[in-house]
Structure 1
Amino acid sequence: MQFNLTEEQEMIRKTVREFAQEVIAERASDIDETEKFPKDIWKQMGELGFLSLTLPKEYGGMAADHVSYSIMIEEISKCSASMGNAVAGNKIGQDFMANFASEVQKNKYVESVGKGETIMAFTATEPSGGSDVSAIQTKAVPKDDKFIINGNKIFVTFGELAEFYLAIARTNDQSGHKGMSAIIVERSRSGLKIGKKEKLMGVRGIGTSEIIYEDCEVPAENLIGNEGEGFKYAMKSFDNGRIGIASLALGIAQGALEQATKYAVQREAFGQTISNFQGIQFMLADAESKIEAARLLIYQACYLKDQGLPYTREAAIAKLYASDVAEEVTTNAVQIHGGFGYTKDYPVERMYRDSKITQIYEGTNQIQRMIIARNRLKNYQ
């Protein structure tokens, strides 16, 4: 068992860390305040290979492993959870295409997405249900050589910004997860409408919005993979996505710990820096211990994925634990800052807000516990 990073992984961490601290960090507050997506930074990230890190080389990627991917998300998220979330969200759709789309579809979209030239959005969540993907109501009715799509999607990352969308919709009347398919919908299609912009608590500035399909016609050739297998494709993508969200949570927690430590060694009270007080030291020690544990859980899931082994359980554990750690660490980081932590003058206020979503999306933490428990119990039945 090897715990040291490879030279390539160390190089990726150094490159991403320098870019995040020199370019992203100084814009993080502005992204949050203005809710404007920094397309210039996105383009730079595409040019540096951040957006295509794990893509196969034939699609312009670096074919890096997923530990490297986790390192990248952590370093970006330490400075800006919004940008870390953007990269993680981009990978979910990108991998969906790389794994299940036809060669024609891949050649048309995947490389340009990896370069940051084209933005895509994954539309699954609906007003009637989030974690219960099998309850999706959006319909794509086959007619001649096309599909006619009707339905509403919410909380769509890049919803306002994307050039094309991946829609999960029902192509027949079978109940539950049966009969669901994945379809590419270009922004230019009539019947596709950008709905209301979501007013989010955190991870702001990445164009999260509602997407409305209203008699939206797309050619049958836009179907991804086989009809009726959209649910299966989505579930496999969510396993992968949980590694990204766990890494996002890890970055938020690590960033908050670093901010809290810097503040603690500078802030004076009762004639000494507050870092001398055992109460503060214990919060810092607990944070560091839990962050290290979360990192190892994430790397384990990454390792299994890269070996082609099952990792559903491990990804769920990593996402569950890392997100709970992020919520706890950011709460204590604000506490260490005292009243200043409750102001926007310090980044821990933003980190505190950003952390909450990691316990909710890519399956709530209650869903993760269900996945973990089912994996445990099946061995006894």
Structure 2
Amino acid sequence: MPATRLMPTEDGQDLIDLTREICDKELRPHVDEAERAAATTPQLPTEVFRTLGRAGLLSLPYPEEVGGAAQPYEVYLQVVEEIASAWMSVAVGVSVHGLTCYPVAQFGSDEQKAALLPGMLSGEQLGAYCLSERSAGSDVAAMTTRATPDDEASPTAYRIKGTKSWISHAGHADFYTSFVRTSDEGGRGLSCFVVPGDAEGLAFGAPERKMGLHCDTVSEVHFDGVTVGADRLVGAPGQGMAIALSALDSGRLGIAAAATGLAQSALDAAAEYAKERKQFGRAIADFQGLAFLLADMEAAVTSARATYLHAARLRDAGRPFSKEAAVAKLVCTDAAMKVTTDAVQVLGGYGYTQDFPLERFMREAKVTQIFEGTNQIQRLVISRQLLKG
């Protein structure tokens, strides 16, 4: 059942309608089989991303002059939510791709924007975001992957050596937006590079065996002396931490929207089952205890959607939204975990089987509380913003 939304423009409504049509024709018929197959043989649904790209859905919030659609972030996030309601792995991939383009769009030079963004936003390329390391997850400043210039005074190229972990699209991406150390000044010593996907020296680990999101292929990215031109350095040397944190504010909203779409699907499936399943001579939806559970699930989904849309509207208005993005990520992902768990409960024993998608929804929801900053980190961000002088 499509969720009711208030769209800011006619174009926005058209994009939602187009997304729903693609989801119904190209995503929902294949998601169950693809996720089951990828659980044993990890695979990225590249054709699905190409379909979304050709429809212009991978470039919505970026300017038209570089290949985007110049849509408000509010519209883009509702597209992500709609995709998540059909196929969560793909929605996460769409959000990750948007995250990879952000540093160039916001911090790149005019020359970099002209050279890189049209390809990134063409719908034919897919990006990867290389930030985390095995010992540098929440503590980004602890990263050790390093870029060494060929000339300290006037570098023309850098050589990158190190390993990034938990990278979506690793081995499949056309470019890797990578944060690496260029000096030993802690968090002030990080820089951002866009590394071509075919760069010599790039290698990839075996895909991680995860409990969910099997079609979101994740593995390590090894930089074994990868040479990248100085023209691929985004922003100034040492600006990487600021770029990464700014990008994550927007990325968290993508995950918040995806989590909301996942929760909406779980609620829809639970409500439909409750109307059809009979016990003691009547539909289980007629029992107040279960009806109230469904009401609480609806309240959680509706609240989650309102929370991420509020943050998106602040972003679209050019106002600060870091705290609100953290609130949205926290509220929406916690709601997804609760709603998917309760949906399994509504179906009882059937909810625990693979005959219904609820057990998959529940497994997929868990990681939303972990990536793009754990929900413990979101509480840290929120409290610091709230209490700062």
Q: Same fold (TM over 0.5)?
A: yes
The answer on whether the counterparts of 2:251 and 2:372 sit within 8 Å (CA) in structure 1 is: yes
**83, 86, 97: which one aligns with 2:104:** 97
Residue of structure 1 in register with 2:356 after alignment: 346
Task: Check if 1:13 corresponds to 2:36.
Answer: no
Of all paired residues, the percent bearing the same amino acid is 37
Task: Check if 1:166 corresponds to 2:177.
Answer: yes
**184, 187, 209: which one aligns with 2:197:** 187
Residue of structure 2 in register with 1:140 after alignment: 147
Residue of structure 2 in register with 1:331 after alignment: 341
**60, 69, 72: which one aligns with 2:76:** 69
- Give the counterpart letter for 1:346 in structure 2: F
Residue of structure 1 in register with 2:37 after alignment: 34
| 3-state SS of paired residue (2:188) | coil
- Aligned mates of 1:348, 1:301 — CA distance in 2: 29
- Once the two structures are superposed, the pairs formed by residues 258-337 of structure 1 within 5 Å of their partners are 258-337=268-347
Residue of structure 1 in register with 2:56 after alignment: 49
The answer on whether the counterparts of 2:112 and 2:231 sit within 8 Å (CA) in structure 1 is: no
**188, 191, 206: which one aligns with 2:216:** 206
The answer on whether the counterparts of 2:180 and 2:190 sit within 8 Å (CA) in structure 1 is: yes
- Give the counterpart letter for 1:338 in structure 2: G
- Aligned mates of 1:218, 1:146 — CA distance in 2: 6
- Aligned mates of 2:308, 2:121 — CA distance in 1: 23
- CA drift at 1:7: 2.5
* Deviation string, structure 1 residues 231-268 (Cα, Å, up to 9, x no partner): 10000000001110100110010010001111111111
The answer on whether the counterparts of 2:192 and 2:240 sit within 8 Å (CA) in structure 1 is: yes
- Give the counterpart letter for 2:100 in structure 1: G
* Deviation string, structure 1 residues 127-150 (Cα, Å, up to 9, x no partner): 002122111111111123321211
- Give the counterpart letter for 1:146 in structure 2: A
| 3-state SS of paired residue (1:349) | helix
* Deviation string, structure 1 residues 63-121 (Cα, Å, up to 9, x no partner): 00011011101111011110110111110011222112233333333222323211211
- Aligned mates of 2:349, 2:92 — CA distance in 1: 28
The answer on whether the counterparts of 2:147 and 2:159 sit within 8 Å (CA) in structure 1 is: yes
The answer on whether the counterparts of 1:330 and 1:355 sit within 8 Å (CA) in structure 2 is: yes
- Aligned mates of 1:74, 1:61 — CA distance in 2: 19
- CA drift at 1:22: 2.1
- Aligned mates of 1:218, 1:4 — CA distance in 2: 42
* Deviation string, structure 1 residues 38-58 (Cα, Å, up to 9, x no partner): 222211111111001111000
| 3-state SS of paired residue (1:153) | strand
- Aligned mates of 1:188, 1:87 — CA distance in 2: 21
- Give the counterpart letter for 2:170 in structure 1: G
The answer on whether the counterparts of 1:160 and 1:208 sit within 8 Å (CA) in structure 2 is: no
- CA drift at 1:8: 2.6
- Aligned mates of 1:208, 1:101 — CA distance in 2: 27
Using the TM superposition, name which of 196-205 and 226-235 deviates more.
Answer: 196-205
The answer on whether the counterparts of 1:43 and 1:115 sit within 8 Å (CA) in structure 2 is: no
The answer on whether the counterparts of 2:7 and 2:75 sit within 8 Å (CA) in structure 1 is: no
- Aligned mates of 1:50, 1:320 — CA distance in 2: 25
Using the TM superposition, name which of 317-326 and 132-141 deviates more.
Answer: 132-141
- CA drift at 1:5: 4.3
The answer on whether the counterparts of 1:57 and 1:63 sit within 8 Å (CA) in structure 2 is: yes
| 3-state SS of paired residue (2:266) | helix
- Give the counterpart letter for 1:22 in structure 2: K
Residue of structure 1 in register with 2:254 after alignment: 244
- Give the counterpart letter for 2:48 in structure 1: I
The answer on whether the counterparts of 1:123 and 1:166 sit within 8 Å (CA) in structure 2 is: yes
- Aligned mates of 1:343, 1:218 — CA distance in 2: 49
| 3-state SS of paired residue (2:28) | helix
Using the TM superposition, name which of 143-152 and 224-233 deviates more.
Answer: 143-152
Equivalenced residues, count: 377
Specify every segment of 5 or more residues in structure 2 that has no aligned partner in the other structure, as ranges: none
| 3-state SS of paired residue (1:315) | helix
- Aligned mates of 2:306, 2:237 — CA distance in 1: 38
- Aligned mates of 2:143, 2:349 — CA distance in 1: 44
**155, 166, 174: which one aligns with 2:166:** 155
The answer on whether the counterparts of 2:176 and 2:194 sit within 8 Å (CA) in structure 1 is: yes
Specify every segment of 5 or more residues in structure 1 that has no aligned partner in the other structure, as ranges: none
* Deviation string, structure 1 residues 315-334 (Cα, Å, up to 9, x no partner): 11111001000000000111
**262, 265, 269: which one aligns with 1:255:** 265
**97, 103, 113: which one aligns with 1:106:** 113
Task: Check if 1:355 corresponds to 2:365.
Answer: yes
- Aligned mates of 2:225, 2:332 — CA distance in 1: 41
- Aligned mates of 1:345, 1:277 — CA distance in 2: 24
Structure 2 length normalisation: TM-score? Answer: 0.94
